[in-house]
Amino acid sequence: METIEKNGYKKIRNSGLEYFTVAPHVWGMKIVFVNVYIIAVVDEGANSWVLVDAGLKGSGKKIVRMAEDIFGPGAKPAAILLTHGHFDHVGALEELLAVWDVPVYSHYLELPYLKGISSYPPPDPMVGGGLMSMMSWMYPRSPKDLGKRVHRLGTDDKVPGLPDWRFIHTPGHSPGQVSFYRDSDKTLIAADAFVTTRQESAFSVITQMKRLSGPPKYFTTDWVASKRSVQILASLEPESAASGHGYPMYGDELRSSLRRLAENFEEEAVPSYGRYVKESARANKNGVQYIPQAVVNPKLLAGAVLIGAATALGLVLALNRKKKSFSYKKLI
């Protein structure tokens, strides 16, 4: 096993597996571009724990390996907690439930997307910011149907399986998104209420460039609610924060960055153009009720046209070179 200290957290590498620490009894793992978290109950040692989110489809075995690396062979969580139901946070649920027969919990406003009732609103590739946004029209948004395996979080703020934590409703990126908070040491699992890299940019995603940012723009459907959620989390003045994308942040750097985002949310987080910028999607316990009309980002469209034209020109030139080369070889 190899341990590397970096920016306040530890990266742990063991037999091809890599994950990181967040805070005492809290671990995370990056799966391509999204994080999952394991939280152990402090007063019960390392025997009782939960999984937060389920990453991308096909990552079930990797998540099980992480759990067994921490807790030993056959380790099984008390529950799986979902911050929200977007495809990159629930992808491996069926794989995990085939190994672990445990309850799944989410906010009641996420249940339509987890019980096969409603699809999410369409992602918006017009928000700009990079390749991850431009490709978002391809991202899955259809619901999962977990049936009776998924349960609603309670009407209070208690977290099943985690007596020393509470959940906070932080909508905007999705209607029922929740964050998890441990008051004893001010540890925050922020979900996608804010993230610690620029998730719209493929370069930032690949390099995991550290920058506290608003929620991923392409999937955020209510910017007014998103701002309120960031303000609520900033008021906690967390000591450590781990989000759905990017590595953890700590201390004064975290608090000052989060405060700046809360105070300048429109300038720093809200896109200039976008389907949901002037009008939010609306949803209730039955799922999506209203979706605004799509809008066109003229700058993004012009850029796409230029890229398309340059690509077409490149193909024509390449074909001409190939044709000339072929004709020359025939003459020889």
Same-domain check for residues 285 and 305: no
Q: What is the mean pLDDT of each run of 10 residues along the chain (332 residues)?
A: 88 94 97 97 75 98 97 96 98 98 98 98 95 95 96 95 97 98 98 97 93 98 98 98 98 98 98 96 98 86 47 58 55 52
61 and 128 share a domain? yes
Task: Calculate the alpha carbon distances from 86 to 107, 143, 205, 275, 290 in Å.
Answer: 13, 9, 18, 18, 18
DSSP assignment of 35-74 = EEEEEE-GGGTTSSEEEE---STT-HHHHHHHHHHHH-TT
In the chain the first and final C-alpha atoms are separated, in Å, by 61
pLDDT computed for residue 317 by the predictor: 65
For position 319, what pLDDT does the model report?
63
> Are residues 210 and 307 part of one domain?
no
What is residue 300's predicted lDDT score, i.e. its pLDDT?
A: 66
CATH code of the domain containing 268: 3.60.15.10
pLDDT, residue 54, reads: 98
d(CA 267, CA 317): 42
Q: Are both 308 and 266 inside the same structural domain?
A: no
pLDDT at residue 322 in the model:
56
pLDDT single digits (tens) 123-169: 999 999 999 999 999 999 999 999 999 999 998 999 999 999 999 99
Q: Where are the beta strands (DSSP E) in the chain?
A: 2-6, 9-14, 17-23, 26-31, 34-40, 49-52, 79-81, 104-106, 150-152, 158-159, 162-169, 178-182, 187-191, 240-243, 249-250, 282-284, 287-290
Asked if residue 310 and residue 214 are part of one domain, the reply reads: no
- 103 with 63, same domain: the answer is yes
Note the pLDDT of residue 6. Answer: 85
Domain count, the chain: 2
Q: State the residue for tokens 């007063």.
A: 43
253 and 327 share one domain: no
Residues 110 and 175 in one domain: yes
Q: What is the dihedral of CA 124, 130, 132, 137, to 10 degrees?
A: 30
What amino acid is encoded at 49 in this protein?
A: W
What is the DSSP secondary-structure string of 175-213?
Answer: TT-EEEEETTTTEEEEETSSBSS-TT-HHHHHHT----B
> The whole model's pTM is what?
0.90
Q: Of 195, 172, 183, 207, nearest to 241 (Cα)?
A: 195
Q: Are residues 277 and 311 in the same domain?
A: no
| Other beta carbons less than 10 A from residue 327's beta carbon | 9
Q: How many helices (H) and strands (E) does the chain have?
A: 9, 17
Same domain, 264 and 319: no
Domain assignment of residue 228, given as a range: 2-290
Question: Domain check: are 193 and 313 in the same one?
Answer: no
Token pair recorded at residue 241: 């924060």
- Residues 76, 211 share a domain: yes
Report pLDDT for 298: 78
